[in-house]
Amino acid sequence: MNHKQALKHPIFKIISQSAEALNIDSYVIGGFVRDYLLQRGNAKDIDIVAVGSGISLAKQVAKNLPSQPAVQVFKTYGTAMLRYNDIEIEFVGARKESYSEHSRNPIVENGTLKDDQNRRDFTINALALSLKKENYGELLDPFNGLNDLDKGIIQTPLNPDITYSDDPLRMMRAIRFATQLNFKIEENSLKAIAKNKDRIKIITKERIVVELNKILESETPSIGFLLLEKTGLLQYILPELVALKGIDEVEGQRHKDNFYHTLEVVDNISKTTDNLWLRWAALLHDIGKAPTKKFHKKIGWTFHAHEFVGAKMVYRLFKRLKMPLNDKMKFVQKMVMMSSRPIVLASDVTDSAVRRLVFDAGDHVDDLMTLCEADITTKNPRKFKKYHNNFKKVRDKIVEVEERDHVRNFQPPISGEEIMAAFNLKPSREIGIIKEAIKEAILEGDIPNEHNAAYDLMLKEGKKLGLKEMI
């Protein structure tokens, strides 16, 4: 079957003609071809193999494009990249790779298309479409990747044990593709990953996190985390999650398996949000439970202060994985820290408790509610409904309190300057005390969040502190 249809974007004709002018063969390969055959929408990055110099081909293509885009050359890798509108096109010369036992960097020689397909990670990623005039659009599929696409199988073109050992990042990629595409990893591949798991140590944290994020951004992230756990990779990457596995029983009392619970929460939240960091929060919301787990004769299993411990662990985990320690990390910490707050509230929704929740969560209060709703994993339909109803009440109350009291991003109705002027004060401790009393009164609902009421309270509090009002 011919796949000219895949190549209808004008860029392919230009690449084809540029290659012809240089008298070299060229092919589209990898993700673009795979995603076209899966009808996964238009890929925005295109990989081109030239049987010859990829860099020369990129330069020739740039010359032939009306926009004359800049060509970025990566000499050490023999690759070049250019952008055309919103498409990123990467060019590489066909190559043959051989790995020696002691180095992770392959020895690279020029090769044929077939050599280049051999060095690809998976059969479904080795599919190529010809850009040659004679057979434009022909699919070149030496490993029957088409069949694997059809059956939903991830497997390596060559011996999996060698393929994963040569470049252990491929283990993460296999699991990532299995998650994104909902494919099965072929049995020998899965065994080879389990066997080579400790080689993941030689991969940089940054590249591991790229794959983790892609797993988390998938429709059903649990597929990936279950595979990471099953192959033993998770122990190297996120041991905090592995520690949540298992159910203890003492005197007939059991707690739930917090690993599988966590994965359910992640899948749940992925149905309602695309926010990667909220998904991270779901993944990590219970990590404090492993180190805080205790059994008490009278009350059974407890995880005292696990939210607080968990939030601290988030920082260490981000740091270890070399993830940026920025406001995203702080957001995840905050979600973990506050993850039980709405639950405590749900059975007795008072205005003041909701005001405090909104005050503390600020703009993230809706995300926090989304996390709590995803956290409902009970299999009892009556309880499931009841818990959701309770949170619905909290959400309604949040809206109501918000409209009336404006405590989200709370701005004190009386400024420090105003307090200083009223009592003729220099900056002092009393100002802080009065401000705190006003904030507390508003959150408690003793006074409305308004200037006049706050001014009256300020005068009263000042008097208590023995301050004299300026007249």
- Min dist. Cβ of residue 47 to ligand ATP (A): 5
Nearer to ligand ATP, 198 or 469 (CB): 198
Contact 229, 259 (CB under 8 A): yes
Query: According to the binding rule CB under 6 A, does residue 199 interact with ligand ATP?
Result: no
**Residue 253 Cα distances to 105, 138, 301, angstroms:** 53, 63, 8
Query: According to the binding rule CB under 6 A, does residue 196 interact with ligand ATP?
Result: no
In angstroms, rounded to a whole number, what is the distance separating the alpha carbons of residues 385 and 380? 9
Query: According to the binding rule CB under 6 A, does residue 128 interact with ligand ATP?
Result: no
- Min dist. Cβ of residue 45 to ligand ATP (A): 6
Nearer to ligand ATP, 131 or 376 (CB): 131
Residue from 120, 255, 334, 439 touching ligand ATP (CB under 6 A): that is 120
Nearer to ligand ATP, 121 or 307 (CB): 121
Residue number with the shortest CB distance to ligand ATP? 31
Site residue total, ligand ATP (CB under 6 A):
10
Q: Which long-range contacts (CB under 8 A, 24 or more apart) does 225-232 make?
A: 225/263, 225/266, 225/283, 226/263, 227/175, 227/178, 227/179, 227/185, 227/190, 228/175, 229/259, 230/190, 230/194, 231/171, 231/175, 231/190, 231/193, 231/194, 231/197, 232/194, 232/197
Q: Give the torsion sign (CA, 105, 107, 108, 114).
A: negative
Query: According to the binding rule CB under 6 A, does residue 167 interact with ligand ATP?
Result: yes
Q: Of residues 314-353, which lie at the interface with ligand ATP (CB under 6 A)?
A: none
Which one of ligand ATP, Mg ion, none interacts with residue 221, CB within 5 to 8 A by kind? none
Stretch that binds ligand ATP, among 61-69, 104-112, 164-172, 434-442 (CB under 6 A): 164-172
- Min dist. Cβ of residue 170 to ligand ATP (A): 5
Stretch that binds ligand ATP, among 74-82, 163-171, 359-367, 372-380 (CB under 6 A): 163-171
Nearer to ligand ATP, 120 or 306 (CB): 120
In angstroms, rounded to a whole number, what is the distance separating the alpha carbons of residues 3 and 304? 60
Residue from 14, 27, 31, 331 touching Mg ion (CB under 5 A): that is 31
Query: According to the binding rule CB under 6 A, does residue 418 interact with ligand ATP?
Result: no
Which one of ligand ATP, Mg ion, none interacts with residue 121, CB within 5 to 8 A by kind? ligand ATP
Residue from 24, 30, 313, 419 touching ligand ATP (CB under 6 A): that is 30
Instruction: Please report, to the nearest 10 degrees, the dihedral formed by the alpha carbons of residues 409, 410, 414, 420 taken in order.
Output: -80
How is 288-333 classified by DSSP, letter by letter?
A: THHHHEEEETTTEEEETTHHHHHHHHHHHHHHHTT---SHHHHHHH
- Min dist. Cβ of residue 47 to Mg ion (A): 6
Tokens 């020689």, residue located: 109
In angstroms, rounded to a whole number, what is the distance separating the alpha carbons of residues 372 and 339? 7
Query: According to the binding rule CB under 5 A, does residue 91 interact with Mg ion?
Result: no
Query: According to the binding rule CB under 6 A, does residue 169 interact with ligand ATP?
Result: yes
Nearer to ligand ATP, 81 or 441 (CB): 81
**Residue 56 Cα distances to 109, 114, 135, angstroms:** 17, 21, 22
Query: According to the binding rule CB under 6 A, does residue 435 interact with ligand ATP?
Result: no
Identify the H or E element spanning 254. strand 253-254
> Rounded to 5 degrees, what angle do the CA atoms 236, 241, 245 make?
115
Identify the H or E element spanning 215. helix 205-216
Query: According to the binding rule CB under 5 A, does residue 115 interact with Mg ion?
Result: no
Query: According to the binding rule CB under 6 A, does residue 156 interact with ligand ATP?
Result: no
Q: Which two tokens stand for residue 281?
A: 């929060």
Mask for 31-60, x = binds ligand ATP (CB under 6 A): x-------------x-x-------------
Query: According to the binding rule CB under 6 A, does residue 116 interact with ligand ATP?
Result: no
* Residue whose C-alpha is closest to residue 224's, from 233, 301, 382: 233
Of all residues in the chain, what percent are helix, strand and coil, respectively (each to 5)? Answer: 55, 15, 30
Query: According to the binding rule CB under 5 A, does residue 45 interact with Mg ion?
Result: yes
Applying CB under 5 A, the residues found at the interface with Mg ion are 31, 45
Applying CB under 6 A, the residues found at the interface with ligand ATP are 30-31, 45, 47, 120-121, 125, 167, 169-170
